[in-house]
Chains A and B, each alone.
Chain A
């Protein structure tokens, strides 16, 4: 008799978690009856949900203790706010703690999310960084299995999160991409990406294409049994020595083969991937066009100014990817690797010319950070300073097709790996620190320093895009920002959330001089020393004065409740 398929996608988040766990073992923690709901939505007149759209369930998978985290896509598009994000991060942190103690605990993430919940903006960003930090740490003990069943998929910061998983399982209905189609259309124009073209969307970021292009491990039918089996198989496989987000050389060669000036189709990209993966260089060598050299004015950026000042250089470095600067220098006895992402007006990738983190930038950040980790394996771990002045991630069709989420995941992975290995990782915010770009370059730092300046911004999306996606007027958005500091753009509002180690006053951020350099170097030195003697996770962001005074009240409460019910 033919078995009738049982849809996984049609189930709600809670019933998805039940389906993944062994029969009769499902036990929800911090569930709806605990009523840990988002305090920020209510303040903006939005009806909250009693579980904030994330189900955390303990139980067993194939007889072994497990935690399954399932996101409800129907509530606020599965957006990650402070409570929902902290439920995910906290659950992964407790799974990590158990594994460290020798209690093997499996972890499965059922992703159905648009990424950061815009109404809680910077809380979402901070929580996603904590989720990512926990995955990179946990992945060393047990496989962290990600599932993208659909129908929403996994977008924004959570696509980067998916890119960090030990194994990724998708259905054809699932999608994964850094920037959602509407956002690309808004930011880059309808010629770049037509958000109403469903075929284009699924051919670019749908499960089948992602699997064929190597971004996903298993493509499964929308069937409870098939998904359960795929999860069991991924759990059995054990830990990955080299997760996808660490394949710096492989993706580096793939990028070198690409000529962004030529049209690229999903099918052609699959072919290129298969050849590069097989170790074959592609036959059609990219033609080297005559590059116009950029004018000095076009190159100017705060990131470059501070990089030059802190490294003592006046000439830009001639790296393979000119938009990522890297150099080693000293502050007193401390060896420091400085890394900055800067504009390159003649970049091969037109969508990444203004200092955005694009494909090349993500993988190159990963390369420079990993080089330091490997070189310092047996000796002192040098400090790594990320100079942050990034307007956004790159919004483009080619970027999505070629997996910009994976490029960002590579950078996140590298910084987190460096931190876990004992490198003090410091982020120095001198300009914009936005969204996926900030997640990739800065948010995995042990310590975050920021210059107190009106042009130092932290946010997840331009005001125009945020207004469009949340269907509010710009004025409404600005009014709401006065009540909820997490959705404001300025650095002083951000500092109330407790993630900053120091907000540095009295420094000229635009045209710094010797005195400014001395001030920043002293602050960097202090941050490096304090990072060396502290834990290697991101917990200092929750134990800071500002966080304890209320900046992260909900995050702290969620972890307290999780601890009470974890067992």
Chain B
């Protein structure tokens, strides 16, 4: 297991906390919580070691497109970049009020 930390500047707070996904094969769990500080703080724990650069690319892209002042906790069980991006988008969606969608398509 490896723990990776990332941080991005951010201005917009998210409306409410969100939890999506599961730490199951090829998937991941994301917890997104509003933060009063003007930045995104991300902690990734992953069972697949040595993919720090890939994580950086995926997260750089997502958080340059999405301004989110939040604390993000990621527990990963071998999700591909596509799944990671989709789950991040889902977490944002749930946070913005689409409560009913929570986890429904996993």
Contacts and interface: CB of A to CB of B under 8 A. Distances in A.
A35 B73 CA distance: 10
A47 B76 contact: yes
A348 to B, nearest CB: 42
Nearest to A41: B1
Contacts of B106: 12
B103 interface: yes
Contacts of B76: 47
B103 A14 contact: yes
Contacts of B17: 33
Contacts of B47: 45-47
A417 to B, nearest CB: 37
Nearest to B73: A50
A511 interface: no
Interface string B45-69: 1110000000000000000000000
A543 interface: no
Contact residues of B: prevailing secondary structure: loop
Nearest to A49: B23
A222 interface: no
Contacts of B19: 31-33, 50
B24 interface: yes
Contacts of A72: 22, 24
B103 A50 contact: no
Contacts, number: 54
Given A47-B47, A75-B24, A15 B103 contact: yes
A33 B71 CA distance: 12
A50 B31 contact: yes
Contacts of A47: 1, 23, 45-47, 75-77
B23 A33 contact: no
Given A14-B103, A15-B103, A32-B19, A74 B25 contact: yes
A318 interface: no
Interface string B8-44: 0000000001010011110101010100000000000
Contacts of A32: 19, 29, 31
Contacts of B103: 12, 14-15
B104 A49 contact: no
A49 B27 contact: no
A24 to B, nearest CB: 12
A84 B106 CA distance: 21
B33 A33 contact: yes
Contacts of B46: 47
A50 to B, nearest CB: 6
Given A12-B103, A42-B1, A47-B45, A74 B29 contact: no
Nearest to A31: B19
Contacts of A49: 22-23, 29, 75
A11 B106 CA distance: 8
A50 B22 contact: no
Contacts of A350: none
Given A12-B103, A32-B29, A45 B1 contact: yes
B84 to A, nearest CB: 14
A12 B104 CA distance: 8
B73 to A, nearest CB: 7
Interface of B: 1, 17, 19, 22-25, 27, 29, 31, 33, 45-47, 73, 75-77, 102-104, 106
In the A-B complex, the 4 residue pairs with the closest CB atoms: A74-B24, A49-B23, A45-B1, A32-B19
15 contacts: A14-B103, A32-B29, A32-B31, A47-B45, A47-B75, A47-B77, A48-B23, A49-B22, A49-B29, A49-B75, A50-B73, A50-B75, A72-B24, A74-B22, A76-B23
